């Protein structure tokens, strides 16, 4: 039987196992919405702004490992979605975004709500497609999901003109798809893996430096096994948190600009660096000239272009993280060679000394609420088991430093693009994927206002997200840089004329709380967590000039941190 | 690469987004109409060329990529040069065209249009040999390249 393009699209999504579709209707996608209306398999979540549709799909993907899916209309629908697409692209998140387009005979005519969505999104997608013939639609959707979820994942945009959604074709969803120009590598080169294992065993001062690729590649279990087999220290990047249990003794904390003293010192002094699913980002390396001066480097990554991009490595291995790590574990278990235990013991002694600096200590006697205290309180109240999304700025760093993630997929933040406004819609995606779990959105009074309209979506779908706003009346990270590097000239970093967040939350039908006293933090947190079925907006009035420490200033090496 | 609309802009966009230079770029369909062949001439350090290679390979539309300069290869480019040709200059340009194995393909009372197919370097030499004031216009096709011997891009 012949189906319309709109019906083919919806059936294809169902074939892909899509249960949630985040979107916003408009002229170019009306046929699609009509087809969605007539079925129950794919649930549509109506956001309040297309940026939130892409962030929510992204949060869904980051909390499950499954691709997130968004649907927006042509023109402004597509351009509003771009921030969310670019966010997903920078963090390699599998996502499929369907954009409506004006009818094929109108393309290029400056038609109403027309924009060249393929051109606009080209630099921030893994791939994109314009579907000109309804006969190609099902196969294109299959390809879109295949590309988004394999190799180094990423967002794929499918632009569908309105007439294509009305035209009819026979529906047959392809079982599989093969593309001569796209064949992602999975297995690592065994010779290289052997070289890597030999180098790992020859180390006197080793460290595992692991990133988001371990989470995305589903390699957390293998990483934990490998690291514990060797008893080597592990540091995670901002994107990799949860890939190795943060409460384990071998974990030395996050590294980089706001990483722990012990993580950065261990990095700087290591002699063998085992990088896995990480990309030597500038926030991680500090000054590249001073980066790990004594290290021989092994780098495992699914994306060849990540290898030796910023830092030249000695043993590159292109392959999927769990596959390569399993090979390494097999070689280590079958071989009889051991690492130098005396050297390793001395290394751990040194690391424990760095640890004893206690770089994350803060003032517990202050009359103001310290933001760090709020995150610790959140950690305790949720038993370390919540899905935590964040926006971007100081609160993001405090959440990363003080919430000890033991599992992957729990820490959800915009690491690469640094998108303010990400936290709340991402929390919606995570909450819909995990209806019974606690989902907390750590944010600031600046970031939350960038997608505040989504409080309405949360009401509509009954999403009991706990919003933890660290309200210091400043764009905190901007203010911190102005304090350090611009002689305290606080240009435009003060948030004047803030709304009353309690009343705002209440006006959207949610619960609002304002907490101003350090002694009230834990009690309020417990109370909020007890409100299982309600969204609670917790407005924590925090110490205005608290800074994120440690910090590596621009141009410095990992060993040149500013401590408190 | 796949002979798809947009494939060219993906390549061009990659070069501009990542700050790489394109000296020339040529593209046209091959004997298999579903595939196009593109020759890009670029410059950069070994690290940059390695990154360009990897980034191009990552594009979904790119089927196969080789760095021709790693091995023996042939480069050819065509130039059409229109020159003022009056009086003694007519004979002079005829000789110059002969020396460079060029052909005069259009003649008017006052102009010649000379076609030359050679390596990019030879074309630069030819253009340099003509007095700039005498050139009315120059069109260059950009370089196409192919490996010497039996090697090919086909798997």
Q: Give the pLDDT mean for A181-208.
A: 96
Asked whether the predicted pLDDT for residue A364 surpasses 70, the reply is: yes
Q: Write out pLDDT tens, residues A257-282.
A: 999 999 999 999 999 999 999 999 99
Helices and strands counted in chain B (H then E):
4, 7
CA–CA gap between residue A186 and residue A165 (Å, rounded): 36
Cβ-defined contact of B63 to A130 (cutoff 8 Å): no
Q: What pLDDT shows up at residue B155?
A: 65
Q: Which residues in A lie closer than 8 A to residue B58 (C-beta atoms)?
A: 303-305
Three-class DSSP category at A506: helix
- Answer whether A118 touches B (CB < 8 Å): yes
Distance from CA of A352 to the nearest CA of B (A): 38
Distance from CA of A212 to the nearest CA of B (A): 19
Active site residue A113: yes
**Where do the domains of chain A lie, and which CATH numbers do they carry?**
2-170 (3.40.50.970), 190-355 (3.40.50.1220), 371-541 (3.40.50.970)
Nearest CA in chain B to A310: B47
Q: Give the pLDDT mean for A35-54.
A: 98
- Answer whether A139 touches B (CB < 8 Å): no
CA–CA gap between residue A207 and residue A214 (Å, rounded): 15
Q: Write out pLDDT tens, residues A513-547.
A: 999 999 999 999 999 999 999 999 999 999 999 99
Of B6, B17, B47, the CB nearest to A118: B6
Report which DSSP code applies to A179.
B
Question: Of A2, A39, A112, A330, which residue is the catalytic one?
Answer: A112
Cβ-defined contact of B13 to A122 (cutoff 8 Å): yes
In terms of Cα–Cα distance, which of A487, A476, A489 is closest to A258? A476
Q: Which residues in B lie closer than 8 A to residue A182 (C-beta atoms)?
A: 60
Of A123, A147, A305, the CB nearest to B17: A123
Nearest CA in chain A to B155: A180
Active site residue A199: no
Q: Write out pLDDT tens, residues A412-467.
A: 999 999 999 999 999 999 999 999 999 999 999 999 999 999 999 999 999 999 99
- Answer whether A183 touches B (CB < 8 Å): no
- Answer whether A17 touches B (CB < 8 Å): no
Active site residue A353: no
Active site residue A112: yes
- Answer whether B2 touches A (CB < 8 Å): yes
CA–CA gap between residue A309 and residue A457 (Å, rounded): 41
Q: What pLDDT shows up at residue A186?
A: 86
Q: What pLDDT shows up at residue A478?
A: 97
Q: Which residues in A lie closer than 8 A to residue B57 (C-beta atoms)?
A: 304-305
Of A123, A303, A309, the CB nearest to B13: A123
Q: What's chain A's average pLDDT?
A: 97
Active site residue A50: yes
Q: What pLDDT shows up at residue A171?
A: 97
Nearest CA in chain B to A146: B60
Kind plus residue range of the DSSP H or E element containing B112 = strand B111-118
Q: Give the predicted TM-score (pTM) of the model.
A: 0.96
Q: Write out pLDDT tens, residues A243-259.
A: 999 999 999 999 999 99
> At A540, phi and psi to the nearest 5?
-90, 115
Q: What pLDDT shows up at residue B146?
A: 96
Q: Which residues in A lie closer than 8 A to residue B51 (C-beta atoms)?
A: 305, 309
Q: Write out pLDDT tens, residues A157-172.
A: 999 999 999 999 999 9
Cβ-defined contact of B9 to A122 (cutoff 8 Å): yes
> At A432, phi and psi to the nearest 5?
-65, -35
- Answer whether A130 touches B (CB < 8 Å): yes
Q: Which residues in B lie closer than 8 A to residue A117 (C-beta atoms)?
A: none
Strand partners, B80: B115, B139
For residue A268, give both structure tokens: 């700087």
Three-class DSSP category at A512: strand
pLDDT band per the 50, 70, 90 thresholds, residue A554:
confident
Q: Which of A23-27, A117-121, A133-137, A284-288 has the lowest mean pLDDT?
A: A284-288
Q: Which residues in B lie closer than 8 A to residue A308 (C-beta atoms)?
A: 47, 50
Nearest CA in chain A to B51: A305
Question: Of A199, A267, A477, A538, which residue is the catalytic one?
Answer: A477
Cβ-defined contact of A305 to B47 (cutoff 8 Å): no
Cβ-defined contact of A304 to B6 (cutoff 8 Å): no
Distance from CA of A16 to the nearest CA of B (A): 21
CA–CA gap between residue A144 and residue A147 (Å, rounded): 5
pLDDT per residue rounded down to tens, chain B (155 residues): 999 989 999 999 999 999 999 999 999 999 999 999 999 999 999 999 999 999 999 999 999 999 999 999 999 999 999 999 999 999 999 999 999 999 999 999 999 999 999 999 999 999 999 988 999 999 999 999 999 999 998 86
Q: How many CB atoms lie within 10 A of CB B52?
A: 22
In terms of Cα–Cα distance, which of A81, A53, A58, A63 is closest to A154? A58
The number of C-beta contacts closer than 8 angstroms across A and B is 35
Asked whether the predicted pLDDT for residue A209 surpasses 70, the reply is: yes
Nearest CA in chain B to A148: B60
Which of the residues B11, B60, B154 would you substitute to probe the A interface, choosing the one with the greatest number of A C-beta atoms within 10 Å? B60
C-alpha distances in Å from residue A175, one per residue of A12, A169, A399, B103: 11, 18, 42, 57
CA atoms within 13 A on the CB side of A430: 27
- Answer whether B76 touches A (CB < 8 Å): no
Q: What pLDDT shows up at residue B154?
A: 80
Q: What pLDDT shows up at residue A564?
A: 79
Three-class DSSP category at B69: helix
Kind plus residue range of the DSSP H or E element containing A263 = helix A261-269
Cβ-defined contact of B6 to A126 (cutoff 8 Å): no
CA–CA gap between residue A426 and residue B6 (Å, rounded): 32
**Where do the domains of chain B lie, and which CATH numbers do they carry?**
7-65 (3.30.70.260), 73-145 (3.30.70.1150)
Q: What is the dihedral of CA A416, A419, A424, A425, to 10 degrees?
A: -80
């Amino acid at each position: 039987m012949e189906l319309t393009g709109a019906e083919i699209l919806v059936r294809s999504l169902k074939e892909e196992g899509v249960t949630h579709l985040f979107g916003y209707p408009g002229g170019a996608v009306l046929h699609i919405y009509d087809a969605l209306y007539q079925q129950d398999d794919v649930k549509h979540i109506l956001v309040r702004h297309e940026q939130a549709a892409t962030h929510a799909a992204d949060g869904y993907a980051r909390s499950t490992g499954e691709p997130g899916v968004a649907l927006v209309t042509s023109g402004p629908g597509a351009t509003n979605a771009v921030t969310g697409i670019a966010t997903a692209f920078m963090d390699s998140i599998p996502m499929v975004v369907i954009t409506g387009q004006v009818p094929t005979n109108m393309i290029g005519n400056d038609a109403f709500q027309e924009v060249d969505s393929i051109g606009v999104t080209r630099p921030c997608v893994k791939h994109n497609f314009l579907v000109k013939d309804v006969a190609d639609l099902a196969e294109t959707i299959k390809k879109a999901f295949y590309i988004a979820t394999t190799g180094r994942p990423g967002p794929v945009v499918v632009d569908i003109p309105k007439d294509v959604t009305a035209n009819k074709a026979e529906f047959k969803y392809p079982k599989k798809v093969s593309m001569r120009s796209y064949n992602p590598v999975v297995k690592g080169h065994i010779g290289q893996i052997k070289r890597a294992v030999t180098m790992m065993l020859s180390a006197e001062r080793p460290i595992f430096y692991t990133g988001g690729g371990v989470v995305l590649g589903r390699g957390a279990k293998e990483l934990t096994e490998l690291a514990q087999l060797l008893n080597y220290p592990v540091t995670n990047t901002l994107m990799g948190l949860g890939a190795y249990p943060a409460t384990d003794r071998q974990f030395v904390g996050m590294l980089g600009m706001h990483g722990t003293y012990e993580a950065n010192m261990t990095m700087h002094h290591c002699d063998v660096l085992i990088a896995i699913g990480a990309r030597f980002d500038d926030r991680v390396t500090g000054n590249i000239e001073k980066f790990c001066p004594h290290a021989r480097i092994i780098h495992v990554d699914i994306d060849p272009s990540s290898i030796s991009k910023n830092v030249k490595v000695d043993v590159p291995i292109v392959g999927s993280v769990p596959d390569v790590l399993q090979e390494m574990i097999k070689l280590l278990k079958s071989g009889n060679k051991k690492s130098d235990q005396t050297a390793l013991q001395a290394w751990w002694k040194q690391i424990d000394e760095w640890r004893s600096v206690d770089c994350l200590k803060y003032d517990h006697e202050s009359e103001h609420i310290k933001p760090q205290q709020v995150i610790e309180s959140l950690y305790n109240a949720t038993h370390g088991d919540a899905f935590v999304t964040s926006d971007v700025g100081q609160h993001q760093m405090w959440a990363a430093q003080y919430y000890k993630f033991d599992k992957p997929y729990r820490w959800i933040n915009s690491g690469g693009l640094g998108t303010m406004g990400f936290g709340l819609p991402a929390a919606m995606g995570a909450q819909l994927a995990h209806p019974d779990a606690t989902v907390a959105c750590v944010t600031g009074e600046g970031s939350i206002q960038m997608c505040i309209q989504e409080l309405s979506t949360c009401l509509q779908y009954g999403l009991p997200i706990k919003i933890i706003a660290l309200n210091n009346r400043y764009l905190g990270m901007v203010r911190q840089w102005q304090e350090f590097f611009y002689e305290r000239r606080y240009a435009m970093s003060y948030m004047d004329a803030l709304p009353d967040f309690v009343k705002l939350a209440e006006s959207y039908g949610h619960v609002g709380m304002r907490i101003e006293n350090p002694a009230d933090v834990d009690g309020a947190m417990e109370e909020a967590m007890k409100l299982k079925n309600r969204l609670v907006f917790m407005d924590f009035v925090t110490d205005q000039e608290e800074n994120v420490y440690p910090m590596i200033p621009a141009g410095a090496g990992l060993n040149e941190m500013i401590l408190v | 690469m796949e002979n798809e609309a947009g494939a060219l802009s993906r390549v061009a966009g990659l070069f501009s987004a990542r700050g790489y230079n394109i000296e020339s770029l040529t593209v046209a369909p091959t004997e298999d109409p579903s595939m196009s062949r593109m020759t890009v001439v670029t410059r950069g350090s070994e690290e940059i060329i390695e990154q360009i290679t990897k980034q191009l390979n990552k594009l979904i539309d790119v089927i196969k990529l080789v760095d021709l300069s790693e091995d023996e290869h042939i480069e050819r480019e065509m130039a059409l040069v229109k020159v003022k040709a009056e009086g003694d200059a007519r004979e002079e340009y005829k000789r110059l065209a002969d020396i460079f194995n060029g052909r005069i393909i259009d003649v008017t009372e006052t102009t010649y249009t000379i076609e030359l197919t050679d390596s990019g370097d030879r074309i630069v030499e030819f253009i340099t040999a003509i007095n700039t004031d005498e050139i009315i216009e120059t069109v260059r096709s950009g370089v196409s390249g192919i490996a010497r011997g039996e090697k090919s891009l086909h798997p």
